[in-house]
Amino acid sequence: MQSQQWQNNQQIANPQTGQLPQVKGPEMNDRDFLNDGLATCKYLTDSLTDAVREASHEQLHADMLQILTETHQCARELYNVMFQNGWYKLEAEEQQKIQQAQQQFSGYSSQFPYSV
């Protein structure tokens, strides 16, 4: 229970702008449109990553890589707008868990075939 309380008090978010209705009907509002756009960008970047990796034609590869980069930038811009309006929240992680993960993965670098 205490862990749950800690998480609830450690949200990283801006306050909501108050522009959304308290009871939502079936019509889409600004938050819905932005959320849909962000979800679409996430889907596109996943798909484009595969296409770029597998493109055998050099110009096609370059063109799709440019589209992938632009799509990532669009996703970031949508995220920023949602976060600024308080429509996208993140959960802060406990410092101990961050340190444990860092220790776990820092040992992996010795397995790389090249120096980091």
pLDDT in tens, 43-79: 999 999 999 999 999 999 999 999 999 999 999 999 9
For residue 21, is it within any domain?
A: no
Give a yes or no: residue 54 inside a domain.
yes
Asked, for residue 20, whether it belongs to a domain, the answer is no
Rounded distance between C-alpha atoms, residue 96 and residue 116, angstroms? 25
- Name the amino acid, one letter, at 94: E
Does residue 14 surpass a pLDDT of 60?
yes
Position 22 scores a pLDDT of 64
Q: Tell me which residue has tokens 């776990």.
A: 104
| 33 domain-assigned | yes
Query: In this predicted model, which residue has the larger pLDDT, 75 or 112?
Result: 75
**Its pTM surpasses 0.85:** no
Domain extent for 72:
28-86
Residue 62 placed within a domain: yes
Say how many domains are in the chain. 1
